[in-house]
C-alpha cells in the first residue's frame, strides 16, 4: 500500500490569514498559525548580556509552548516548510525564531512574502520562495535590544525616585516630550493683537463680493490696533473704489498619493475618528481576509505596514480601465500618475490599496461591518482617485484702489472636478475644498468702478500652536524620522495608558506626572530624549537592514554613551524638579516631588525642613503654591476619645485624623463635623424597620453606608446608593457602593442576585459621546485630577471630570 504524499507546511501569524491562504493552496499544504511571536526576551530580567556583545537570551513566550510543539511536530512530517509571517521586520523575526526551532528536522525551510492575499500573489510567492533575510532580522533584533536596554534600565530609576509602575521607552518618551514641549509653548505664548479691514463691494453684475485691505500708501499694511483701523476707515469711507488690476490664471490640483501607514492613520483619524490602534486593527482584518459569501474568504487590501508609494503595474492598469469605464476619458490622464517615496522607504512593499479595484465598496458592503466598510471605502477611493486627472480651477485676483488704500479680492471657480468627484483629502475634519476661503467673483474689468456697501473692521489675536491630535502627532513623528510604520500605533497607546497624558477634545494634554517624568529624563538622559538622536538611531536600524553596518556595532556605540549616563543617573538622579518658589519657613527652594497621594511641593532642605504644600499652575504654566488649610493641628478634638486632631493629606485631599492612632482610628473630613458628631442625616431615606432617620456612616475601609440613627436598638443598615441607574439591559436597579473581601470599594446593582452587574470605578450617569455606552466611569489617578472615561473596552473617550454644581 502506497504511503500518502507528504504535505508542505506553511506557517503564518494569524488563524484568519491561514484560512484565506488554505483556500488557494489546497490539500498539498498544511497551513498553521504561530499566533504572533513565539519567542522573545524574558519578562522578569534584562535578558541581554551587555558584556558578551549584547547577546540576547530568548525564551518561549508564556502560552506559546503548545503552539511551538505543534509547529515542530508538523515540521517533522512535512516535505518542506514555508515561513510566511508578515513582510516586515517583526515578521522576519517570527520566521527566524520558528526556523531556529525547526532546523533539527533537516527539512528545507523557505521564506515567502505576501504583499496581498490573492490567489495570484500567493501562488507566485510559493512558486519562487526565498530565504530568511538575516539583515532584516538583525535590524529587528537591534531595535528590540535597544528598547529593552532603555526600558528595563531607566524604568527602575523612575520606580525608586518617583513611584512604582512608571515606565520609560526609547521612542515613547520622545513622543511624550513633544507633547510636553508643545504644552509649554502654548503656556508661554503671548497673543498679539491685530486687525483686518474688509470692504463689502458690489459690481455691475452679481454676486456681491468681499475685498480685504492689503496695502496702504504704497506699502503692505499690518493693522495693529483699533485706532489705526478707524483712521484708515475714515479716509476710505468717502472714496470711490476703482479696479486697478485683474489677474486671471488657471490652477490645477493633483490627487494625493495612495495611502502609506502614517497617512492612512492620519486620514482615518480625521475622517472616521478612528484611533491609530483601531485603524491598524481594522486594516489587519481587511488584509487577512473577510468572508464574501460564496466567494469565501478574500484579502481585500495589500499589506498595511508600509512607507512606500509604489504601485504594481497590474493594479494601476486595472484602476485606469475602471476609471475610463466609470467616469469617462476626461478623468483618465494620458499616462499613469506616479509618486516618489521618501528617502529610505522600503520599495519592496507597495502602497496600501485594494487587491482588486473591481471590488467596489458598494458591491461588498453587505459582507463588512461598519468599521471595515468605512476604512475600505477610504482606501478604495484614495487609490482610484490617485490615478485620475487633476482638478482644474479658474482663479481671479482683483485689486481695488480707494485713495491711498488697496483692497484685494480673490476668487476661484472649479471648472473640472477631476479626482475630486471621488475623493478629497481631509484637513482638520473637513475637505480642502470646504476649508477654502475662496469665493466666486462677478465679472470684473480694469478701470471699472464698484460700489462700497460696508466696511467691516475685525479684531484678531495671534494663536498659539495647537496641541497634538493623534493625526498631527503621527505626522510630527514621521517628519522627524521618529518611529516606523509598524510602531506609530503602539507609541500612541503606550503614552495614553501610562497616565502621562489625557485627551480632551481629541487633543493630547500632558499630566503633571508626564511633565515631571519628562523633565527628569531630559535632565539625566539628554540623548535618549533628543528627537534628532532618536531619528539617527532609526536611520542606523535602516542601515542594518540594508546590510551597511553590523548590529553589534550600533549597539556598542549607543551603549558607550548611554552606559555613562545610566551610571551617573544611578548616583545623582533625584526624584524631584526644583522650582523657582521658595520655602515660606526656611527660604530654600521648593521642588516638585511624587508621593503616594500624588505630586506635591517639598522643601529641598529636607530633613531639616519638612515643609510641604500642594500646587496648581496658572494659565502660563507657572507653579502656584496652595495656601495651607485654615484648620490648624490641635484646633479640633476627636469626638470619640477627646484627643487633638491633626491635618493629614490622603488620596482625595486633606482630612483630620486622631493623634491617638493606632488606639483610636477616627478620621473626619475638614469642615464636615456633623450635628451627631459622627454622621449626617440622609434625608431621602427612612429606616424600613422602624421609620427613624438614616445616617451616612463610614466603615473601617472608608466605604459609606446608611445606618439607622436608633442604633444599637435598631441595627438596620443599607448600602449607599450612587443614584446611577444600572446600565444592564432590562434592569431597573440602581448602583450602590460595596466593599470586596480585600477592602476595595466597588459598585454593584442593588437587584443582586437577580442582576450581577458590577464595576470597579465610580459610576457617572451619562452617555459616551463616541460609542453611546450608558453609564461612564470616574477614574481618580494619584497624579492629576479625576478623569471621566468610557467603560467600554476599546473606546477612547476620556476627558477631565468636572462635577456639576447643584447651584
* Bridge partners, residue 662, by sequence: none
Q: Give just the sign of the alpha carbon dihedral 344, 347, 352, 357.
A: positive
- The torsion angle over the Cα atoms of residues 62, 66, 67 and 71, rounded to 10 degrees, is 140
Give CA–CA dist 62/42, Å, rounded.
10
Report the DSSP beta bridge partners of residue 746: 738
Strands, E assignment, 38-187: 39-40, 48-49, 55-56, 59-60, 81-83, 109-111
Query: Which is nearest to 134 in space by CA: 176, 99, 108?
Result: 99
* Cα gap 174→530, rounded to integer Å: 7
Report the interhelical angle of 551-572 vs 512-524 (nearest 10°).
110
* Residue appearing with cell numbers 487587491: 355
DSSP 30-54: EEEE--S-SEE--SSS--EEGGGTT
Cβ atoms 19, 297 nearer than 8 A: yes
Q: What is the DSSP string of 457-491?
A: EEEEE--PPPPP-HHHHHHHHHHTT-S-TTTHHHH
Told to judge if 303 belongs to the known catalytic residues of this protein, a careful annotator would answer yes
Answer for the pair 280, 7: CB distance below 8 angstroms, yes or no: no
Give CA–CA dist 381/731, Å, rounded: 45
Q: Which three cell numbers stand for residue 176?
A: 511624550
CA 635 from centre of chain: 49
Give the DSSP letter string of 607-621.
TT---EE-EEE-TT-
Name residues whose C-beta falls within 8 Å of residue 311's C-beta, 6 or more positions apart in sequence: 258, 338, 350, 351, 353
CA 396 distance to own-chain centroid = 41
Q: Residue 295: name the closest of 23, 15, 28 by CA.
A: 23
Q: Taking a C-beta distance cutoff of 8 angstroms, is the pair 510, 496 a contact?
A: no
Spatial CB neighbours of 122, under 8 Å, sequence gap ≥ 6 = 21, 24, 25, 114
| The 667-669 sheet, strands edge to edge | 645-650, 653-658, 667-669
> How many other C-beta atoms can be found within 10 angstroms of the C-beta atom of residue 237?
11
Cell reading at 649: 493629606
Phi, psi of 148 (to 5 degrees): -70, -45
Please report the beta strands in 217-255, taking only residues with DSSP state E, as ranges in sequence order. Answer: 219-220, 241-253
- Of 12, 13, 23, nearest to 291 by C-alpha is 23
Residue in the structure block whose three cell numbers are 512606500:
308
Of these residues, 24, 216, 287, 303, which one is catalytic? 303
Which active-site residues does the annotation give?
Answer: 303
Amino acid at each position: 500500500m502506497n504511503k500518502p504524499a507528504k504535505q508542505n507546511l506553511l506557517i503564518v501569524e494569524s488563524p484568519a490569514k491561514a484560512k484565506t491562504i488554505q483556500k488557494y493552496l489546497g490539500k498539498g499544504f498544511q497551513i498553521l498559525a504561530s499566533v504572533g511571536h513565539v519567542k522573545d526576551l524574558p519578562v522578569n530580567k534584562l535578558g541581554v548580556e551587555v558584556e558578551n556583545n549584547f547577546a540576547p537570551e530568548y525564551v518561549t513566550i508564556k502560552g506559546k509552548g503548545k503552539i511551538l510543539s505543534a509547529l515542530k511536530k508538523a515540521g517533522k512530517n512535512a516535505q518542506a516548510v514555508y515561513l510566511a509571517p508578515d513582510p516586515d521586520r517583526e515578521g522576519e523575526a517570527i520566521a527566524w525564531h520558528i526556523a531556529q526551532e525547526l532546523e533539527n528536522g533537516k527539512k528545507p525551510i523557505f521564506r515567502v512574502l505576501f504583499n496581498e492575499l490573492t490567489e495570484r500573489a500567493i501562488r507566485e510567492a510559493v512558486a519562487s520562495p526565498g530565504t530568511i533575510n538575516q539583515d532584516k532580522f538583525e535590524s529587528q533584533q537591534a531595535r528590540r535590544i535597544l528598547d529593552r536596554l532603555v526600558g528595563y534600565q531607566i524604568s527602575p530609576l523612575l520606580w525608586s525616585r518617583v513611584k512604582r509602575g512608571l515606565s520609560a521607552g526609547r521612542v515613547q518618551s520622545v513622543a511624550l516630550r513633544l507633547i510636553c514641549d508643545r504644552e509649554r509653548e502654548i503656556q508661554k505664548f503671548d497673543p498679539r493683537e491685530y486687525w483686518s479691514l474688509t470692504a463689502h463691494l458690489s459690481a455691475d453684475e452679481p454676486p456681491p463680493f468681499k475685498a480685504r485691505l492689503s496695502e496702504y500708501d504704497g506699502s503692505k499694511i499690518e493693522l495693529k490696533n483699533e485706532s489705526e483701523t478707524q483712521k484708515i476707515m475714515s479716509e476710505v469711507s468717502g472714496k470711490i473704489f476703482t479696479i486697478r488690476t485683474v489677474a486671471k490664471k488657471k490652477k490645477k490640483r493633483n490627487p494625493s498619493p495612495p495611502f502609506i501607514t502614517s497617512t492612512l492613520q492620519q486620514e482615518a483619524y480625521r475622517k472616521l475618528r478612528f484611533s491609530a490602534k483601531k485603524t491598524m486593527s481594522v486594516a489587519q482584518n481587511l488584509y487577512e481576509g473577510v468572508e464574501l459569501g460564496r466567494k469565501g474568504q478574500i484579502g481585500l487590501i495589500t499589506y498595511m505596514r508600509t512607507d512606500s508609494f509604489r504601485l504594481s503595474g497590474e493594479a494601476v492598469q486595472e484602476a485606469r480601465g475602471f476609471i475610463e469605464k466609470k467616469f469617462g476619458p476626461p478623468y483618465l490622464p494620458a499616462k499613469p500618475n506616479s509618486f516618489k517615496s521618501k528617502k529610505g522607504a522600503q520599495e519592496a512593499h507597495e502602497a496600501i490599496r485594494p487587491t482588486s479595484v473591481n471590488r467596489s465598496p458598494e458591491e461588498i458592503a453587505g459582507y463588512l461591518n461598519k468599521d471595515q466598510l468605512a476604512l475600505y471605502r477610504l482606501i478604495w477611493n484614495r487609490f482610484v482617485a490617485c490615478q485620475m486627472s487633476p482638478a482644474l480651477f479658474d482663479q481671479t485676483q482683483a485689486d481695488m484702489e480707494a485713495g491711498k488704500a488697496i483692497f484685494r479680492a480673490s476668487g476661484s471657480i472649479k471648472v473640472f472636478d477631476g479626482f475630486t468627484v471621488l475623493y478629497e483629502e481631509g484637513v482638520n475634519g473637513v475637505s480642502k475644498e470646504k476649508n477654502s476661503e475662496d469665493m466666486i467673483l462677478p465679472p470684473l474689468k480694469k478701470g471699472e468702478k464698484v460700489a462700497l456697501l460696508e466696511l467691516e473692521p475685525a479684531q484678531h489675536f495671534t494663536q498659539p500652536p495647537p496641541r497634538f491630535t493623534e493625526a498631527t502627532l503621527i505626522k510630527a513623528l514621521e517628519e522627524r524620522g521618529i518611529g516606523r510604520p509598524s510602531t506609530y500605533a503602539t507609541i500612541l497607546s503606550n503614552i495614553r495608558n501610562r497616565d502621562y497624558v489625557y485627551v480632551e477634545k481629541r487633543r493630547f494634554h500632558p499630566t503633571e506626572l508626564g511633565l515631571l517624568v519628562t523633565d527628569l529624563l531630559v535632565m539625566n538622559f539628554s540623548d535618549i530624549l533628543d528627537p534628532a538622536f532618536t531619528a539617527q538611531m532609526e536611520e542606523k536600524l535602516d542601515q542594518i537592514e540594508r546590510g551597511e553596518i553590523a548590529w553589534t556595532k550600533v549597539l556598542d556605540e549607543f551603549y558607550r554613551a548611554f552606559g555613562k549616563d545610566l551610571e551617573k543617573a544611578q548616583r545623582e538622579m533625584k526624584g524631584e524638579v526644583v522650582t523657582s518658589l521658595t520655602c515660606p519657613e526656611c527660604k530654600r527652594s521648593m521642588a516638585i516631588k511624587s508621593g503616594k497621594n500624588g505630586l506635591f511641593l517639598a522643601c529641598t532642605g529636607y530633613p531639616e525642613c519638612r515643609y510641604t504644600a500642594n500646587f496648581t499652575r496658572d494659565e502660563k504654566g507657572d507653579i502656584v503654591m496652595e495656601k495651607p488649610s485654615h484648620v490648624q493641628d490641635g484646633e479640633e478634638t476627636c469626638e470619640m476619645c477627646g484627643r487633638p486632631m491633626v491635618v493629614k493629606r490622603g488620596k482625595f485631599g486633606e482630612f483630620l485624623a486622631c493623634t491617638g492612632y493606632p488606639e483610636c482610628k477616627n478620621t473626619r473630613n475638614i469642615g464636615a463635623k456633623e450635628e451627631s458628631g459622627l454622621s449626617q442625616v440622609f434625608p431621602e431615606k427612612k429606616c424600613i424597620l422602624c421609620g427613624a432617620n438614616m445616617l451616612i456612616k463610614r466603615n473601617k475601609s472608608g466605604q459609606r453606608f446608611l445606618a439607622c440613627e436608633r442604633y444599637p436598638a435598631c441595627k438596620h443598615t443599607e448600602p449607599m446608593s450612587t443614584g446611577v441607574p444600572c446600565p444592564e439591559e432590562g434592569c431597573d436597579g440602581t448602583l450602590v457602593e460595596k466593599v470586596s473581601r480585600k477592602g476595595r470599594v466597588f459598585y454593584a446593582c442593588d437587584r443582586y442576585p437577580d442582576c450581577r452587574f458590577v464595576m470597579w470605578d465610580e459610576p457617572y450617569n451619562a452617555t459616551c459621546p463616541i460609542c453611546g455606552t450608558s453609564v461612564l466611569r470616574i477614574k481618580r489617578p494619584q497624579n492629576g485630577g479625576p478623569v471621566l472615561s468610557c467603560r467600554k473596552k476599546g473606546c477612547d473617550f476620556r476627558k477631565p471630570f468636572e462635577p456639576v454644581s447643584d447651584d
